[in-house]
Structure 1
Amino acid sequence: MTSRIAVTGIGATSALGGTAPENWSNLLAGVSGTHTLEHEWVQTYQLPVTFAAEASVRPEEVLPRHEAKRLDPSTQFALIAAREAWADAGEPEVEPERLGIDWATGIGGVWTLLDAWDTLREKGPRRVMPLTVPMLMPNAGAGNLSLQFGAKAFARTVVSACASSTESLVNACEHLRDGLADVVIAGGAESAIHPITVASFASAQALSRRNDDPEHASRPGSVDRDGFVMGEGGAALVLETEEHAKARGAKIYAYVVGGGVTADSHHITGNDPEGLGAARAVELALASAGISADQVTHINAHATSTPVGDPNEYVALKRVFGERIDEIPVSATKASTGHLLGGTGALEAVYTVLALRDRVAPPTINMTEQDPEVPFKLSGEPQPLGDGPLHAISNSFGFGGHNAVVAFASAD
């Protein structure tokens, strides 16, 4: 089945801005959202990595205090992004039983969990907040969005590491095609820039160590890349059947036309060096979209800036696109935003939608010398995508061997 799903609203909050338009403007301008962390805990725990891409607009600046204190930061970001997307979509009138939530996170309420543990150790059980579990549970984002928007069709949560929110978009597309809802709010959020995660990723040799030059630390495809940069935030897309969107006269940014989800079954953290699972996810996305590899005109790559991950993604995509992979404009936007873990796929989906709308691939900043093992068509400047119908894919690959790819088509 190849029925198209319309994207009618978008919202985003990240290191590049507190709204989707701010994100897009700063992304096109080549802004880096990575900075030195100004927290006492960096020195307290003598962390080997002292920078990250924190959200530029803090949730407490947006949400009322009484609301924010009942939500983990990851859910705060979810609410902010979803509210923006819902307003952007014109607040669709839809029966509660026909409105669904497909949400995602990679880690969930890590701040709530570890703050509660500190409270228990230092002050005893009576001081642990009664809302601790509802705040830390990974499905808190989906549950709170369901409450916020009165969504009764379903409120589902994907936890597939860094593939999470791309998988949530694939699920939303399938749920709409299967007739389970008329409108779905889909996306993901993460707030895991915490001492334990920074220390753990650093111990695993996954993070960049460029403490002296944080703004240029994330270098996807560059020969001197040395790891990813942690980011945070959230992004949401309002998706609805094409018939529903057109019946209410909604503006349509682009269409979700397909998706693919696979597993490597190779290693708990490393992806398959032969790219078999990732390639199959792309092929499934194209097949469900009813398009060929030759019709893809833009790719938002997973491209985390790790020494092993970037070449493996190139190997996977070359399996699908052959020599043409070197001609397709590719964007590696984590260079600007950092890596939002479970929220990153949704943010990059927003960027992909806007790339199709504006017919331009956003730049990949911080390229020094391109690695010959990663010869994607990357550019430090925006790349024009040309005229006519456009198709794009956005890739996400996560710990556990999770692969998720979503395919989009331009609205005109």
Structure 2
Amino acid sequence: MENRVVITGLGVCAPNGIGLEEFGNALENGKSGIRFYKELEELNFGCQIAGGPIIKNIDLNKYFTNIQLRGLEATGLIYGVISGKDAWDDAGLKIPEDDEPDWDNGVVFGTGMLGVDRFRNAIYAVDEGNVRRSGSTTVIQTMASGISAFLGGMLGCGNQVTTNSSACSTGTEALLMGYERVKSGKAKRMLVGSCSDSGPYIWGGFDAMRILPRNYNDKPELASRPMSVSAAGFVPGSGAGALVLESLDSALGRNAHIYAEVLGGSVNSGGHRGGGSMTAPNSKAVQHCITQAIENANISQNDIDVVNGHLTATTKDPVEIENWSIALRRKGMDFPYINSFKGMFGHCLAAAGSVECVGTVLQFKHQKIFGNINCEDIHPEILKTVDESRIPRKSMSHKPEIIAKASFGFGDVNACVIFKRYSKN
């Protein structure tokens, strides 16, 4: 017998808010976390704006020991630990105090590149012949699985503890990996999520590709424009999001708060065929991913009343909307409400899926559809598919029942998950 899987904890470290209250209020009120970075200007970046969490007022001793904080430079690891530990606490879960790990709890926490700043400094030390100066924590901070290992050890998890990496779809894929483990009964609880480093060594490659907006350095809050005809490229971001997935029986047995139920989902690849490439999705694969997610969730296309898209503020936004329309077999006024949070914090890269999943689930709690900012001028190709009223510019009162959330990543990889308002039936 398969388990029903529910969400009992959330945590987030995002450019426009750290913690559920600050982040949820920012999404509801359309608050941007995109800002100008003097460092990027000094390094001659074309795009000198980005979205990064502001942690200077966060007491890191709540998350790390003084020893762990020494030489800690991996921003993605910091963001991931903040969100992961907060999600665990939000779920009301305890940390084992004895030498026995909790065999029922595990972690799937993804990343793209981890500890780039630390790696840079270590390389310089080695090149200068000062190997010892590279630091004894360099490996921990720079190995991709450092974040899952760190959280797994912090929380005493004895089940699977691993890291996945699939570009922009990493966080949504991690959620589905944890979902399958709980659903099959191989774990009672899984902490899932993803994180991304911040800074010029992460964002520089995208600036070199000339796919970032260069005309908004003096007005950063207007730069990320999903679904807009004036969209000029995605704004790079960073951060982390985390969710605690738990079997329904376990959650009910300890009287846990339940945010939503995970009905199912799908991951696939376009195989770099049919127009798919390292940087562009194969539309048929995107449609297939959405269709398979709906089938796996055992619902119909008409059951979905809200979509949170990938929608990065590039020329591919109209194509994504068309793919949703084909997969859902819906258009015009029949199209679900759709939103993109990237207008408020940019594209958080490997963290995008998890940060946006947290925001998506918060819509059940707030009983709102969070609004889209910076799309006053919706792309005319999108309006051929979707009625303008289905793209709310401001948050609107609505009690969503089923929300589809998707992430489409570099490398032609896709992930789609279906969330449902929890009910006992």
Partner of 2:192: helix, strand, or coil?
strand
Amino acid in structure 1 at the alignment position of 2:375: M
Distance 1:147 1:59 in 2: 25
Q: Which residue number in structure 2 is paired with residue 316 of structure 1?
A: 323
Which residue type is aligned with residue 87 of structure 2? A
From 227, 230, 242, the equivalent of 1:236 is 242
- Say which SS state the counterpart of residue 222 (structure 1) adopts: coil
- Pair 1:156–1:306, CA change in 2 (3 A): same
> What residue in structure 1 maps to residue 219 of structure 2?
213
1:392 paired to 2:403: yes
Indicate conservation of the 8 Å contact 1:329/1:383, yes or no. Answer: no
Aligned counterparts, 1:179-258, within 5 A: 179-194=185-200, 196-209=201-214, 210-258=216-264
Q: Report what 2:117 is aligned to.
A: 111
Paired residue type of 1:271: A
Q: Deviations 1:242-268 (Å, cap 9, x if unpaired)? A: 011001111101011111100011244
1:275-298 Cα offsets, whole Å, 9 max, x none, are 111111111211111111110011
1:88 to 87, 90, 95: 90
Note if 1:138 corresponds to 2:144.
yes
For residues 189 and 418 of structure 2, what CA distance do their matches in structure 1 show? 18
- Note if contact 1:2-1:288 (Cα within 8 Å) is conserved in structure 2: no
2:26 counterpart SS class: helix
SS in 2 for 1:97: coil
Whether the aligned pair in 1 keeps the contact of 2:234 and 2:314 (CA below 8 Å) is yes
SS of equivalent to 1:303: coil
Identity of aligned residues (%): 28
The worse-fitting range, judged by mean Cα deviation, of 55-64 and 167-176 is 55-64
- CA distance in 2 between counterparts of 1:406 and 1:2 reads 18
CA change 1:6–1:325 in 2 (3 A) is farther
- The answer to which of 160-169 and 287-296 deviates more is 287-296
The aligned residue for residue 124 of structure 1 is: 130
Count matched residues: 405
TM-score by length of 1: 0.93
- Following TM superposition, by how much is the alpha carbon of 1:43 offset from its aligned partner in structure 2, in angstroms? 4.0
Give the direction of change, closer, same or farther, for the CA distance of 1:143–1:393 in structure 2 (3 Å limit).
Answer: same
What letter matches 1:67 in structure 2?
Q
> Structure 1 residue 88: deviation in Å?
0.8
Structure-2 residue corresponding to 1:53: 51
The question of whether the paired residues in 2 share the 8 Å contact of 1:224 and 1:369 is answered with yes
Question: Aligned residue for 1:68?
Answer: 69
The one-letter code of the counterpart of 2:289 is A
1:384-412 deviations in Å (ceiling 9; x for gaps): 3347xx11111111111110111100024
Equivalent in the alignment of 2:394: 381
The AA in structure 2 aligned to 1:14 is A
Contact 1:17 1:57 (8 Å CA) reproduced: no
Greater shift, 64-73 or 11-20, is seen at: 64-73
2:107 is matched with 101
Tell me, yes or no, if the aligned pair for 2:9 and 2:244 is still in contact at 8 Å: yes
Partner AA of 1:169 in structure 2: L
Could you say if the C-alpha distance between residues 47 and 118 of structure 1 is closer, same or farther in structure 2, counting changes exceeding 3 Å? Answer: farther
Kindly state the Cα deviation for residue 299 of structure 1 after the two structures are TM-superposed.
0.9
Structure-1 separation of matches of 2:349 and 2:253:
36
Aligned to 1:350: 358
Contact kept? 1:329, 1:385, Cα under 8 Å: no
Write the deviation string for residues 69-99 of structure 1: whole angstroms up to 9, x where unpaired. 3642111111111111111111158871110
Give 1:283's aligned amino acid: T
- Pick the aligned partner of 2:344 from 324, 336, 349: 336
> Is the 8 Å Cα contact of residues 2 and 257 (structure 1) preserved in structure 2?
no
Change (3 A) 1:411 1:117: same
Taking structure 2 as the reference length, the TM-score comes to 0.90
Whether the 8 Å contact between 2:95 and 2:156 is mirrored in structure 1 is no
Partners of 1:356 and 1:298 in 2: how far apart? 11
Letter of the structure 2 residue corresponding to residue 311 of structure 1: P
SS of 2:320's partner is helix
1:409 corresponds to which residue? 420
CA distance in 1, matches of 2:420, 2:342: 22
Q: Which moved more, 1:67-76 or 1:45-54?
A: 67-76
Q: 1:7 maps to which residue?
A: 7
C-alpha separation in 1, matches of 2:368 and 2:411: 33
Q: Secondary structure at the match of 1:257?
A: strand
Q: How far apart are the structure 2 equivalents of 1:225 and 1:177?
A: 40
Number of the residue aligned with 1:152: 158
Maintained 8 Å contact 1:189/1:232: yes
Q: Does 1:269 align with 2:278?
A: yes
**What is the RMSD of the two structures over their aligned residues, measured on CA atoms?**
2.0
Residues 97-155 of structure 1: per-residue CA shift (max 9 Å, x gap): 11010111122222222222233345632311122122101111110011000111111
1:325 deviates by 6.7
Contact 1:47–1:198 (CA<8 Å) still a contact in 2?
A: no
Cα separation, 2, equivalents of 1:86 and 1:213: 37
SS in 2 for 1:152: coil
3-state SS of paired residue (2:232): coil
Q: Is the 8 A contact 1:318 1:325 kept in 2?
A: no
Secondary structure of the 2:365 match is helix
